[in-house]
Amino acid sequence: MNGQEPRESPDKFVPRGAIAFFALLIFLGLVIWFGIYFTMLARS
Amino acid sequence: MLDKFERNVIITALTVSALFIFSIFYALGAKRQDVTECLPYNKTYETARVEQIDAKTYQIFYVARMWNFEPAVSYIPVGSEVDLFVTSLDVVHGFNVFDKNVNLMGVPGGVSRQRSVLRSRACTRSYATSFAARAIRIWKPKSLSTIPENNTLCRLAVPFAIYSSSNCSCRSYCSPLVFIMV
């Protein structure tokens, strides 16, 4: 702000928050999918 | 040129999607999971009956009508493979066997079929739903502490009654359908 450019270089930016969110999303997806999946298999 | 994070996200998403799809085909193939099938209607399905194909294979033809499913009691040996056929004579009825992947709809003029293997010598609970005027009603009798072995009483006293075999007690859901493991 105040006319100054951001000091951080775009090349070194690592989206840690987005990566963590994505990893959590994948993990929860796997847990929900296979939780129901093995429950259904057990009921067969 | 893709950013390396973007590329990794795409690869991960595709891998997980492939895993999901593979697991479905694995269940259908190796695990022999059966899904509900709709059969061409035939008047013979309106006759409730149990047919024995061989020592461990049975067919049960259920006919649903208001307040009643028939046959109400089926004697099936433990470990039998059972084909369940459901049709209805009036409105659409739901047909579910508790703790099994059996969930059928009895539709007038239609036949639903599903295969199941009854492995355990346990009470099989089931319930019936009736779909009418956009309402879904699950019938739950309030007190079913003891129902004698005579299942006719179940059918007459409580519309969709739970029936228990000798080593089980009556539980929560009402049931027009009983498998007695012999």
**Residue pair B174/B141 in contact by the 8 Å Cβ criterion:** yes
Phi and psi torsions of B174, nearest 5°: -80, 155
Q: Which amino acid is at B32?
A: R
Measured CA to CA, the distance from residue B52 to residue B45 in angstroms comes to 16
Q: Do A29 and B12 touch (CB under 8 A)?
A: no
Alpha helices in chain B (DSSP H): 4-29, 151-157
Amino acid code (one letter) for B61:
F
pLDDT in tens, B60-119: 898 887 767 777 667 677 677 889 899 988 888 777 776 677 788 888 999 999 988 876
Mean pLDDT of B23-29: 90
Other Cβ atoms within 10 Å of B121 Cβ, number: 14
Find chain A residues with C-beta within 8 A of B13's C-beta.
26
Q: Do B12 and A26 touch (CB under 8 A)?
A: yes
Among left, alpha and beta (phi > 0; psi -120 to 50; other), residue B99 is left
Q: Do residues B60 and B37 lie in contact, with contact meaning Cβ atoms separated by under 8 Å?
A: no
| Contact between residue B84 and residue B61 where contact means Cβ atoms under 8 Å apart | no
Average pLDDT, chain B: 68
Span B39-57, average pLDDT? 89
Rounded percentage of chain B residues whose pLDDT exceeds 90: 20
What is the CB neighbour count within 10 angstroms for residue B156? 11
At B91 the three-state DSSP class reads coil
Count A/B contacts: CB-CB distance under 8 Å.
Answer: 33
Per-residue pLDDT tens for A1-44?
555 665 656 567 888 899 999 999 999 999 999 999 999 888 77
Contact A37 B27 (CB under 8 A): yes
DSSP for residue B117: E
| Separation of alpha carbons B129 and B160, rounded Å | 10
Judge: B23–A22 Cβ closer than 8 Å, yes or no: no
Model pTM greater than 0.80?
A: no
Structure tokens at A7: 């000091």
Closest by CA position to B44, among listed B92, B104, B87: B87
**A43 contacts in chain B (CB < 8 Å):** 99-101
